[in-house]
């Protein structure tokens, strides 16, 4: 009995020692967006057909490198094999590294998923002997802010500059983390050319390029943070080795640089002297009220236009409303914006045009309308008033009397005598006999006879093409999705003014467009998935970001008070985005 128990224990121990292990281990589970992550896939038995995970939301910057350890100690074999990758996160968030698989002795083994948390950029310890440290001392990303103590709704410009030391080179760069500008209204300014310029950084000579320009309008008071921009830069730094000509040899390394978080202290607008009609306008403006007609008849319409022009937060306040007499019927205004944005802020004009219909004759004064704003130059409130307008509405009686008098004059006109009324007509005609022809010998007969026979091949070709098209299930699905996209885009245009219906239709149109071009189902939709698919299709980052921005607008619409102008702008942006993607998708 004891001998049997001993054999059982030996068998169980040998079975435990021969058990296959395949697992994934990471160097850390939380890291900054500017750090790197090491992941090892280790097994205790040799295997084949190793399949790594997709590493979604990470960029592989090193690997895979393979290592094997096979040893015998006291007659016991020890074996291990590993695949190692070095990863760099592409953005912040909580992500999952999926399962990897391998085949060992005909069986498939998989690792467990690992959850990784990526935070904002962190400060990394510096090693003077490390090429990364040399790169960190030679390349700097700086965010230059125009003012750190602005008023509420005062424009703040942010210019991102990449400084590079004279003995250092840069091959390329890509954005790892873009700031979201919470609590700001933001507008990116297009940088057409990235010209290299000479400049100073901390008193030393550097070269720099302007990478990005942004204008911000703070929407809250107090201390607000401007999140950092983080780049992945391929840097060439000098090494200690020299070539045959005595020149220093360069080493290429990847460096994550960040502009650092900036904090601005937003001052509230003063309460002293604030007018009752102040609606949040900040800047320097002019105000006018005009009418396209001063005299008109009853039931005719005229346009009343209120316009603000100048420099300031033109898109971030509402225009005042006119106070019209009750005899004038007023319809909802048509809002128009002609605004351009540069580093100094918004400039241009906005207007509301009202359609007004008088119900009775008379002279109607339109009282002056006041518009108040906060002037940044004098740091005081100013109030502008429009001119008073008078609209004269006349009756149609005068027109009726003129028509009656004209009718009487027509009745008094002498009638021409009948005797000579038709004297100019010809009384003799040149008539010719009609010759009878045989219809069966005419070309028309033969065309009617042989025409249906000639159509038979055409009918056969059309029938075959329809059959092929009916069998093309994938193509029919794409065409159906395209029709739905056009249908919903048309529905969204018709629904402008109804926020809920407009953004639902717009979101459906965008989804159906992607389904037709990328051949994915609605259940697969997510911002990360869309971004990954568009990148795989070699779509430019700007076009991809523009598409995701429109989707984001659709998601945030239910939580944001939006007007007709916002919907028109989002609709136009969706049209431009689809046109851009159509040109780039292959």
CB 506 within 8 A of CB 489: yes
Whether residue 292 sits in one domain with residue 194: no
In a domain, 223, yes or no: yes
In a domain, 544, yes or no: yes
- Per residue in 477-507, pLDDT (tens digit) is 555 545 555 665 777 777 787 777 787 888 8
CA–CA distance, 583 with 540 (Å, rounded to integer)? 11
Query: For the CA atoms of the chain, what is the radius of gyration?
Result: 39
Which two three-digit tokens encode residue 356?
């007004």
CB 205 within 8 A of CB 198: yes
Distances, alpha carbon 285 to alpha carbons 136, 298, 337, 380, 510, in Å:
46, 36, 15, 13, 38
pLDDT bucket at 228, cuts 50 / 70 / 90: confident
Which two three-digit tokens encode residue 548?
């995701």
CATH code, domain with 309? 2.60.40.740
Which residue, 239, 266, 293, sits at the end of a domain? 266
At residue 501, the pLDDT reads 78
In a domain, 177, yes or no: yes
Which residue, 119, 143, 166, sits at the end of a domain? 119
Whether residue 258 sits in one domain with residue 149: yes
In a domain, 386, yes or no: yes
Whether residue 68 sits in one domain with residue 90: yes
CB 574 within 8 A of CB 512: no
Whether residue 135 sits in one domain with residue 108: no
Q: Identify the CA nearest to 282 among candidates 189, 341, 336, 217.
A: 217
CA–CA distance, 468 with 87 (Å, rounded to integer)? 48
DSSP 359-374: SS-EEEEE---EEEEE
- Per residue in 13-46, pLDDT (tens digit) is 444 445 888 888 888 888 888 888 889 988 888 8
CA–CA distance, 87 with 93 (Å, rounded to integer)? 15
Q: What residue spans of 249-336 are helical by DSSP H? A: none
Q: How far is CA 372 from the centre of its chain?
A: 34
Whether residue 145 sits in one domain with residue 107: no
pTM over 0.85: no
At residue 416, the pLDDT reads 39
pLDDT bucket at 11, cuts 50 / 70 / 90: very low
What secondary structure letter does DSSP report for 233?
Answer: E
Q: How far is CA 495 from the centre of its chain?
A: 20
At residue 375, the pLDDT reads 96
Count of domains in the chain? 4
CA–CA distance, 138 with 205 (Å, rounded to integer)? 11
Q: Identify the CA nearest to 577 among candidates 535, 536, 548.
A: 548
Instruction: Print the domain residue range for 542.
Output: 473-584
How do beta strands 204-218 and 156-165 pair?
A: antiparallel
Contacts within 8 Å (CB) and 24+ apart, 249-254: 250/169, 251/131, 252/171, 253/131, 253/132, 253/135, 254/61, 254/88
Whether residue 252 sits in one domain with residue 140: yes
User: What angle is formed at CA 578 by the lines to CA 172 and CA 564, rounded to 5 degrees?
Assistant: 115
- Per residue in 425-477, pLDDT (tens digit) is 455 556 666 655 566 667 777 777 777 777 788 888 887 777 666 666 556 55
- Per residue in 363-403, pLDDT (tens digit) is 999 999 999 999 999 999 999 999 999 999 987 544 344 44
Whether residue 319 sits in one domain with residue 232: no
Strand partners, 48: 103
> What is the separation, in whole angstroms, between the first and last Cα of the chain?
75
Q: Is 184 helix (H, G, I), strand (E, B) or coil?
A: strand
Kindly compute the dihedral angle of the four CA atoms of residues 319, 342, 212, 190, in this order, to the nearest 10 degrees. 100
At residue 233, the pLDDT reads 84
Instruction: Look at residue 352 and tell me whether its pLDDT is greater than 50.
Output: yes
User: What angle is formed at CA 512 by the lines to CA 507 and CA 515, rounded to 5 degrees?
Assistant: 130
Whether residue 56 sits in one domain with residue 156: no
CB 552 within 8 A of CB 558: no
In a domain, 75, yes or no: yes
At residue 492, the pLDDT reads 77
Which two three-digit tokens encode residue 45?
């038995």
- Per residue in 94-139, pLDDT (tens digit) is 999 988 988 888 888 888 899 999 988 877 666 555 666 677 678 8
Cis before 576 (ω within 30): no
Q: In this predicted model, which residue has the larger pLDDT, 512 or 348?
A: 348
Whether residue 558 sits in one domain with residue 528: yes
In a domain, 561, yes or no: yes
Whether residue 572 sits in one domain with residue 526: yes
CB 216 within 8 A of CB 156: yes
Whether residue 341 sits in one domain with residue 239: no
In a domain, 565, yes or no: yes
Which residue, 119, 145, 174, sits at the end of a domain? 119
Burial of 82 (0-12, 13-18, 19+ CB in 10 A): middle
CB 572 within 8 A of CB 502: no
CA–CA distance, 400 with 315 (Å, rounded to integer)? 49
Strand order in the sheet with 114-119: 30-32, 114-119, 93-97
Q: How far is CA 492 from the centre of its chain?
A: 17
576's CB contacts (< 8 A; 6+ apart) are 546
At residue 13, the pLDDT reads 44
pLDDT bucket at 421, cuts 50 / 70 / 90: very low
Contacts within 8 Å (CB) and 24+ apart, 25-30: 26/97, 26/114, 26/116, 29/114, 29/115, 29/116, 29/117, 30/116, 30/117, 30/118, 30/119
- Per residue in 132-190, pLDDT (tens digit) is 667 767 888 999 999 999 999 999 999 999 998 877 878 778 887 788 888 999 999 98
Q: Identify the CA nearest to 55 among candidates 38, 70, 67, 43.
A: 38
What secondary structure letter does DSSP report for 579?
Answer: H
- Considering the chain, what percentage of its residues have pLDDT values greater than 70? 77
Q: Identify the CA nearest to 236 among candidates 224, 222, 218, 254.
A: 254
In a domain, 79, yes or no: yes
CATH code, domain with 211? 2.60.40
Which two three-digit tokens encode residue 5?
């128990």
Q: Identify the CA nearest to 98 among candidates 120, 123, 125, 116.
A: 116
- How big is the chain, counted in residues? 586
Which two three-digit tokens encode residue 37?
């992550």
Whether residue 259 sits in one domain with residue 156: yes
CB 304 within 8 A of CB 289: yes
CB 101 within 8 A of CB 13: no
């Amino acid at each position: 009995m004891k001998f049997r128990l001993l054999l059982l224990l030996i068998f169980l121990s040998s079975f435990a020692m021969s058990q296959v292990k395949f697992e994934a281990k990471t160097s850390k589970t939380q890291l900054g967006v500017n750090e790197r992550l090491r992941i090892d896939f280790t097994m205790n038995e040799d295997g084949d057909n190793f399949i790594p995970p997709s590493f979604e939301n990470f960029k592989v910057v090193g690997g895979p490198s393979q290592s094997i350890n096979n040893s015998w100690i006291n007659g016991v074999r020890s074996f291990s094999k590993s695949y190692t990758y070095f990863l760099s996160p592409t953005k912040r968030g909580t992500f999952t590294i999926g399962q990897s698989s391998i085949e060992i002795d005909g069986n498939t083994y998989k690792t467990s998923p690992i959850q990784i948390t990526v935070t904002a950029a962190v400060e990394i310890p510096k090693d003077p002997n490390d090429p990364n440290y040399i790169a960190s001392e030679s390349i700097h990303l700086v965010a230059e802010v125009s003012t750190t103590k602005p008023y509420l709704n005062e424009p703040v410009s942010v210019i991102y500059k990449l400084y590079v030391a004279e003995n250092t080179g840069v091959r390329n760069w890509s954005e790892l983390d873009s700031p979201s500008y919470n609590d700001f209204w933001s507008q990116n300014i297009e940088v057409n050319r990235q010209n290299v310029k000479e400049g100073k950084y901390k008193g030393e000579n550097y070269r720099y390029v302007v990478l990005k320009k942004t204008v911000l309008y703070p929407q809250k008071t107090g201390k607000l943070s401007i999140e950092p921009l983080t780049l992945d830069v391929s840097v060439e730094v000098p090494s200690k080795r020299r070539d045959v000509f005595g020149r220093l040899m360069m080493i290429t390394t990847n460096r994550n640089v960040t502009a650092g978080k900036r904090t601005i202290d937003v001052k509230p607008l003063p309460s002293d002297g604030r007018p009752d009609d102040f609606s949040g306008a900040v800047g320097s403006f002019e105000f006018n009220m005009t009418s396209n007609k001063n005299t008109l008849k009853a039931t005719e319409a005229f346009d009343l236009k209120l316009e603000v022009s100048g420099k300031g937060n033109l898109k971030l306040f509402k225009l005042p409303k006119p106070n019209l007499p009750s005899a004038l019927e007023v319809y909802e205004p048509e809002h128009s914006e002609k605004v351009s944005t540069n580093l100094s802020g918004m400039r241009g004009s906005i207007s509301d045009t009202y359609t007004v219909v008088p119900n009775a004759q008379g002279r109607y004064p339109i009282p002056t309308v006041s518009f108040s704003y906060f002037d940044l130059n004098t740091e005081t409130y100013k109030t502008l008033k429009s001119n008073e307008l008078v609209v004269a509405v006349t009756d149609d009686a005068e027109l009726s009397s003129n028509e009656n008098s004209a009718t009487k004059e027509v009745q008094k006109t002498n009638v021409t005598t009948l005797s000579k009324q038709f004297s100019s007509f010809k009384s003799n005609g040149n008539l010719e006999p009609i010759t009878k022809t045989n219809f069966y010998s005419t070309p028309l007969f033969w065309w009617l006879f042989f025409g249906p026979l000639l159509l038979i091949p055409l009918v056969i070709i059309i029938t075959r093409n329809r059959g092929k098209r009916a069998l093309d299930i994938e193509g029919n699905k794409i065409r159906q999705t395209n029709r739905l996209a056009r249908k919903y885009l048309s529905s969204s245009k018709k629904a402008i003014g109804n926020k809920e219906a407009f953004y639902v239709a717009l979101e459906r149109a965008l989804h159906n467009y992607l389904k037709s071009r990328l051949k994915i189902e609605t259940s697969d939709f997510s911002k990360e998935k869309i971004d990954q698919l568009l990148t795989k299709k070699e779509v430019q980052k700007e076009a991809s970001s523009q598409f995701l921005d429109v989707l984001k607008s659709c998601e945030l619409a239910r939580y944001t008070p939006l007007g007709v102008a916002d919907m028109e702008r989002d609709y136009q942006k969706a049209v431009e985005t689809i046109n851009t993607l159509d040109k780039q998708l292959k």
